[in-house]
Amino acid sequence: MSSTLNSVVVLTGAGISAESGLKTFRAAGGLWENHPVEEVATPEGFERNPQLVYEFYNQRRRQLLSDEVKPNPAHTTLAKFEHDFHGSFLLVTQNVDNLHERAGSQNLLHMHGELLKMRCLNSQLVFDTSEDFTFDTHCRCCRSAGNLRPHIVWFREMPFHMNKINQALESCDLFVAIGTSGNVYPASGFYQTAKIRKAYTVELNLENTGSGFDKRIYGKASKIVPQYFESLLV
Ligand code: APR
């Protein structure tokens, strides 16, 4: 890796929030095991049974807002690194929780949406919410029921902020993926985009995902993320 770092892009996945008490998606006992993904994370599933989908995200929102769930040292390390690093820093997360924000991260893009937001199907306006909402909830724009959906990117939908993300990937010196299985495109291809532009690529994960990163460090995020990013600032 070049000695002078000017631009860092970090991608996080469910693994960075696992030690904060939020389930990952594909580990045994992971999130999807209670619900087939087709039922709760696709436009067709929402069309077929909106009540189940509202309840699935209401449950996850309630869990996120419970006292037990808070940022762990991996989240706080990324916020501190962003503050102390002299160059440009972008944090892209596949997670829909707000733990990066609560840890103090600023330049942050949620490419798969946010649990604490809802979107009107008519106006496409997005509203903050920390409450349950269902088919009967009135949206603040149409002032009628039946128009609100979770502001979450479902399978076969386009992730958010892709232009900004690709621009950052094409000009970064260092790309670090943390706590993601690399199962879902386009996030799983980000390290290749960075590599084409000669970035150094690092994977910090609990297990080997078999991807072609330049460097791979295995372990729990709350341990390996502070160790790695502190070494960058030395
Ligand atoms: N520390 C570091 N890594 C961990 C930890 C931990 N404590 N616990 C689990 N992991 C790793 C797992 O080994 C796995 O490789 O985190 C990864 C989580 O992978 P997934 O459960 O597939 O989650 P993610 O990669 O974020 O999924 C991507 O898929 O389902 C869609 O939209 C959803 O954003 C999600 C996307």
Q: How would you write the pLDDT of the chain (234 residues) with one tens digit per residue?
A: 556 899 999 999 999 999 999 988 777 665 666 788 888 999 999 999 999 999 999 999 999 999 999 999 999 999 999 999 999 999 999 999 999 999 999 999 999 999 999 999 999 999 999 999 999 999 999 999 999 999 999 999 999 999 999 999 999 999 999 999 998 999 999 999 999 988 999 999 999 998 899 999 999 999 999 999 999 987
Give the position, in ligand 1's atom list, of the atom nearest the Cα of 155: 32
- Our mutation pick for probing the ligand 1 site, out of 37, 155, 161, 206, counting the most ligand atoms within 8 A of Cβ, is 206
Give me the pLDDT at residue 209, please.
92
User: What is the rounded distance in angstroms from the CA atom of residue 33 to the CA atom of residue 21?
Assistant: 17
- Our mutation pick for probing the ligand 1 site, out of 19, 112, 205, 208, counting the most ligand atoms within 8 A of Cβ, is 205
Among candidate residues 75, 100, 110, 112, the one labeled active-site is 112
Give me the pLDDT at residue 26, please.
75
Give me the pLDDT at residue 64, please.
96
Whether 112 is catalytic is: yes
- 146-180: per-residue pLDDT in tens? 999 999 999 999 999 999 999 999 999 999 999 99
User: What is the rounded distance in angstroms from the CA atom of residue 112 to the CA atom of residue 154?
Assistant: 8
Give me the pLDDT at residue 35, please.
82
Distance 18 CA to ligand 1 centre (A): 8
Give me the pLDDT at residue 10, please.
98
Ligand 1 pocket at CB < 6 A: 13-15, 18-19, 24-27, 30, 94, 112, 179-181, 183-184, 205-207, 209, 220-221
Give the position, in ligand 1's atom list, of the atom nearest the Cα of 12: 26
Share above pLDDT 90 across residues of the chain, in percent, rounded to a whole number: 88
Order the strands of the 88-93 sheet from edge to edge: 108-110, 88-93, 7-12, 174-178, 200-205, 215-218
Distance 123 CA to ligand 1 centre (A): 33
Give the position, in ligand 1's atom list, of the atom nearest the Cα of 14: 26
Give me the pLDDT at residue 34, please.
76
Cβ-based burial of 85 (10 A; exposed 0-12, middle 13-18, buried ≥19) = middle
